[in-house]
Chain A
Amino acid sequence: DTAVSQTPKYLVTQMGNDKSIKCEQNLGHDTMYWYKQDSKKFLKIMFSYNNKELIINETVPNRFSPKSPDKAHLNLHINSLELGDSAVYFCASSRGQGLVSPLHFGNGTRLTVT
C-alpha cells in the first residue's frame, strides 16, 4: 500500500486554467505538507497542516489554496495558472511537525503550464 499518494503524476494545462492536485496518506500522521521543487531542483515548503489546521503558510500567491477535509488528505488548488507555476509539487506527511518523525513523501506531481 502506498503511504503517501498524490494524483495526478503529470499535469499539463494552459495558462489561466484552474487545477487541483490531490494527496492522501494512510500512515495515521497528523501533519501534512506541500512542497514545490523548481527547475533547479530546489525544494521549498509551501504549506503545512496539522490536524486540519494551517500551521505554515509561506509566501506563495493566494492563487494557491490548500484544502484539508480531514487529517488524511491535503489537496492543493491552483487558480489562474501561470507559466511560473510549472514545477514538481510534492506532498508529504509526518507524525509531528517534522520534529518527532521523518517526512514521508509522495512521488510528486509534475505540473507543466503552457
Chain B
Amino acid sequence: KNEVEQSPQNLTAQEGEFITINCSYSVGISALHWLQQHPGGGIVSLFMLSSGKKKHGRLIATINIQEKHSSLHITASHPRDSAVYICAGTTGNQFYFGTGTSLTVIP
C-alpha cells in the first residue's frame, strides 16, 4: 500500500464543473505539494502547504494535518485544466508521491 493515496484515479468533467481531487496519507509529513503534469510531460508545482488553505486563481488547496488529508479543488473547470495532478508529502528529507489523478475536462 502506497503511503500516499489519491482519489479518484481518473476523472472526466464537463467544462465549468467544480472538481475535487483527494489525497490521503499514512505517514507523518511536514508539508504537502500539489503538482500538475500536462500531457506534454512537464511538471509544475501548484501549491505547497502545511496547514489551512491556499488559493491561486481557480485552484484551491486545503490540508487537514490531524486527519492526514488534503484536497485540490478547481472551480469553473476548463479544458486546459486537463492534466495529471499529483500530491506529494514531504518530511523534509523524504518525499512520498501519490499515484496521480488524471483529469479530462470536456468542452
Interface residues of A (CB under 8 A from B): 40-45, 48, 55-56, 88, 90, 92, 96-99, 101-105, 107-108, 110
Pick from B35, B37, B93, B97: contact of A55, CB under 8 Å: B93
Pick from A43, A56, A90, A102: contact of B94, CB under 8 Å: A56
Measured CA separation A104–B43 after assembly (Å): 8
**Could you give, for residues 4-39 of chain B, a 1 whenever the CB lies within 8 Å of some chain A CB and a 0 otherwise?**
000000000000000000000000001101010100
Question: How many Å from the CB of B99 to the closest CB on chain A?
Answer: 6
Once the chains bind, are B97 and A97 in contact (CB under 8 Å)? no
Question: How many Å from the CB of A10 to the closest CB on chain B?
Answer: 11
Once the chains bind, are A105 and B43 in contact (CB under 8 Å)? yes
Once the chains bind, are A98 and B95 in contact (CB under 8 Å)? yes
A43 and B93 in contact (CB under 8 A), knowing A99-B31, A103-B35, A103-B45?
A: no
Once the chains bind, are B48 and A101 in contact (CB under 8 Å)? yes
List the count of A-B residue pairs having beta carbons below 8 Å apart: 60
Residues of B within 8 A of A55 (CB): 93
A90 and B100 in contact (CB under 8 A), knowing A43-B88, A97-B92, A98-B90?
A: no
* B 26-76 contacts with A by CB, 8 A: 30-31, 33, 35, 37, 41-45, 47-48, 50
Once the chains bind, are A97 and B93 in contact (CB under 8 Å)? yes
Which A residue sits closest to B46, measured CB to CB? A102
Measured CA separation A55–B93 after assembly (Å): 7
**Could you give, for residues 81-99 of chain B, a 1 whenever the CB lies within 8 Å of some chain A CB and a 0 otherwise?**
0001010101011110101
Residues of B within 8 A of A98 (CB): 31, 33, 48, 90, 92, 95
